[in-house]
Amino acid sequence: MNPLEDPIEENGKSRWYKMFLNKYLIVGVFFIVWMIFFDQNSYFIHKELDKEIQDLNRDKNYYQEKLEKETIQINRMKHDPTEIERIAREKHFLKKADEDVFIVEEEKVKKPVNHEQSK
């Protein structure tokens, strides 16, 4: 044994060296990296699928609300003939036989450009 070498420091280095070369640690790290990045059930694929599920749930809620509104409107149309007439006039521009319908569209007025003021 050489008195210049510290046996505790040698033992400490070899302990860390042995720990990092442990076959179970290497296999465990490889497994975790494989599952996170390369597997077909990886973290990133699950993240994309979760986002898609959220989008589909949002669409489902939107269509359920729309269905409820239209069901209410259909029920009103079944029981009230004036509702049918209102929808026919507003959405389909239908008219009675003795009526004239004028459709007025508002046009956006463009301001004229005055070149004399910009000089």
The span from the CA of 105 to the CA of 102, in Å, is 10
92 and 63 share a domain?
A: yes
Region of 2 (left: φ > 0; alpha: ψ -120 to 50; beta: rest) is: beta
Q: Report the candidate in 29, 28, 50, 31 with the shortest Cα–Cα distance to residue 39.
A: 31
The span from the CA of 28 to the CA of 34, in Å, is 10
1 and 32 share a domain?
A: yes
1 and 35 share a domain?
A: yes
61 and 33 share a domain?
A: no
Q: Which two tokens stand for residue 27?
A: 């296999």
**Backbone dihedral angles phi then psi of residue 5, each to the nearest 5 degrees:** -90, 140
In a domain, 111, yes or no: no
Question: Domain of 64?
Answer: 55-96
Bigger pLDDT: 107 vs 52:
52
pLDDT digits (tens, 9 = 90+) for 58-110: 999 999 999 999 999 999 999 998 988 888 888 887 888 888 877 777 777 66
Q: Is the pTM of this model over 0.85?
A: no
At residue 28, does pLDDT exceed 80?
Answer: yes
